[in-house]
Amino acid sequence: MTEVPEQKPCVLPVIFWPDKRLYQLCVDVDQDEFDMQDIDTFVTSMVLTMRARDGIGLAAPQVGILKNIIAIEIPGEDPHIFVNPKIIDIDNTLDFKWEEGCLSVPGYFEQRTRPNRIIVECVNRVGELQRGEYTGLTAFVIQHEVEHLQGQLFIDHLSPLKKDRIKKKIRNTLNRRR
């Protein structure tokens, strides 16, 4: 994890679509990387970044680190950290609706339907293997963030015309933040 720029937790800059880095594949965190303080510092920075941007999920590539790490924090719950997450079981029925958004695509939301239940296998922030079943909004967000690790965005299926509108909206949103 030598790519992490800070030694203490901080809010990290988010990469915005259509940046090509968002389409790169991530790699697993090696077991020997858990012996380093960098993992804990980085995932804490991910949670701080997510909170600062009013998000409920963040994947490492969204902050320029091509590692299989996601953080989610559903309102009313503690943050969840998933290192090297793999969805090993997923419902075949699409029965959970939510207005999906993305910190890398600010200002754009789309009503989406995803499976309501998934089982995820991963390691936690100290390198211990874990498996859990997730439902509802938590399952929805995990699926969205895992897609980031695979170089996919929830807007990939949209028409070129709609994507052009989103690019303009992102520019406007970013200009208002300055």
User: Is 124 within 8 Å of 159 (Cβ atoms)?
Assistant: no
> Within 13 Å and on the Cβ side, how many CA atoms surround 75?
2
151 close to 22: Cβ distance less than 8 angstroms: yes
Among residues 33, 73, 145, 147, which one is catalytic?
A: 145
Tokens of 22: 């968002």
Q: How far is CA 140 from the centre of its chain?
A: 11
Cβ distance 166 to 155 under 8 Å? yes
For residue 20, the Cα-to-chain-centroid distance in whole angstroms is 16
Is 145 designated active site? yes
**Could you list the active site residues?**
145
